[in-house]
Chain A
Amino acid sequence: MTNYYDSDDGASAGDAGRPDTEHGMNRRQLLRHAGWFGGAVVLTVAGGEVISHIADSRDTNAAAAAGDGAAGSGALRFVQVSDSHIGFRGPANLDVVGSFTEAINQVNSLGFRPDFVMHSGDLTHLSTAGQFDQVKQLMTAMKTDRIFTVPGEHDSIGDAGRAYRRTFGMGTLGDGWYSFDTHGVHFIALVNTLSLEKLGHLGNEQIDFVRRDIAGLSSDTPIVVFSHIPLFAMYPQWGWSTDDALKVIALLRRFSSVTCLNGHVHQLFTKTDGNITFHSATTTAYPLPKPGRGPAPTPQVVPARQLKSALGIRSVGYRQGDRELAIKDQRLA
């Protein structure tokens, strides 16, 4: 387990100048996650990559353009992949292992080493032990220091997520939720695929966790929330919503910048609601129809060339002091 999450090349962090963090993670969080990461939390400095999507970032862009290790002193870059559905067999994608492997290769070819990769759920198609083993094994090929996950409903079939947590839940709280801090950003990973009835559901225990988790944070701390099912009402008729998400949204209203990243819907979609921006990611497995297009959200069979353009990965950049995260979605090349 330790080796799985740890970096295999131990690059230096280069962020010693920041007083209140240790390798970008505050001490409380570091301690909480020490077991999870084997204590070897190392944030890699990715040099030479210009982050061009950050709003209002004249100075920071210049710093990033300067390249070298110094560029990494404030920059965070992570990747979101989603809905790999390892174990799916059907005409919508005859080789989900192949397309997920391509996505991993694309992550490894971004030109920078992401600080972490988040898989936002539906890692497997049917929650079998073999599928969990396979997806975990596949992800070890990702060149990153840490891999995070949240479960999808396909990862919690029939056992309320127990098999998922055996494979990916080490160090998490409750039914698999957790939080962490890095590069001045507070990350919260939520589980909304248990107690599933039509819509996603968080439950009071988890909502209380969020309340306590953010209580001590200053309102200018950027917040990123991961969940599998959208926390906004993207299309409730197909279950693309979370019935008690507004309780969490209400807790997040006081923060100046909140970014919610989800999977589940197998297509890109963005919605802004005041201080909160929601971004649905696409999949590495198979497309689903646009909301309401068709009788049900069933796997869509498209010509092979179109399939690749429906699949993809997402990279996210953030430089300390900026308000917004820069989100870049790329098709599977």
Chain B
Amino acid sequence: MSPSGTGAPAAPVARNAVAIKNFAFTPATLKVKVGTTVTWTNQDGDSHTVTSAGAGGPLHSAAMATHDTYSYTFTKPGTYAYLCTIHPFMTATVEVT
């Protein structure tokens, strides 16, 4: 799973996947093209959500248990900030171009 290279910060393994691990979204900033379906996978023992920050955002998963996944297809360009409502110190963004 983890990149074997050293030195520079690790690039995301897959360009449309976000891991939820150790109470953080990885990568914290994901850049995708319009039309990409992004999938979040909870690898933690505790539950998390993927929820848009602010009102009206498109992301709102249910509480995801361990190994649960959540997917969303981004159809419009923009910067999508989101967090885990259970642990709102967990924040990240998806940049869609």
B60 → chain A, closest Cβ, in Å? 7
Q: Are B24 and A197 in contact (CB under 8 A)?
A: no
The contact of A158 among B22, B54, B63, by CB within 8 Å, is B63
**Given A126, A127, A153, which contacts B88 in the complex, CB threshold below 8 Å?**
A153
B40-97 contacts to A, CB under 8 A, are 45-47, 49, 51, 53-54, 60, 62-63, 83, 85-91
The smallest C-beta distance from B50 to any residue of chain A, in angstroms, reads: 11
Q: Is the interface of A mostly helix, strand, loop or mixed?
A: loop
Q: Could you tell me if B46 and A90 are in contact, using CB atoms closer than 8 angstroms?
A: yes
Contacting residue for A198 out of B24, B49, B60, B88, CB 8 A? B88
Q: Give CA–CA (A238, B85) in the complex, Å.
A: 13
Q: Does A272 contact B (CB under 8 A)?
A: no
- Report the bound CA distance from A196 to B53 in whole Å: 9
Check A127–B89 contact: CB distance below 8 A: no
With A127-B63, A239-B88, A297-B89 known as contacts, the answer to whether A157 contacts B49 (CB < 8 A) is yes
How far is B45's CA from A299's CA once the two chains are assembled, in angstroms? 10
Q: Does more than half of chain B's interface fall in helix, strand or loop, or is it mixed?
A: loop
Is the C-beta of A39 less than 8 angstroms from some C-beta in chain B?
no
Minimum CB–CB distance for B20 against chain A, Å: 12
B86 touches A157 (CB 8 A): yes
Known contacts A90-B45, A91-B45, A197-B54, A295 near B85 by CB under 8 Å: no
Q: Which residue of B lies closest to A197 (CB)?
A: B53
Cα separation A88 to B44 with both chains bound (whole Å): 13
The verdict on A239 contacting B54 (CB below 8 Å), with A158-B63, A197-B83, A295-B22 known, is no
10 tightest Cβ-Cβ pairs between the two chains A and B: A296-B23, A239-B89, A126-B63, A90-B45, A298-B23, A238-B89, A239-B88, A198-B88, A157-B63, A196-B88
A–B Cβ pairs within 8 angstroms, 5 of them: A153-B86, A157-B63, A157-B86, A158-B49, A239-B87
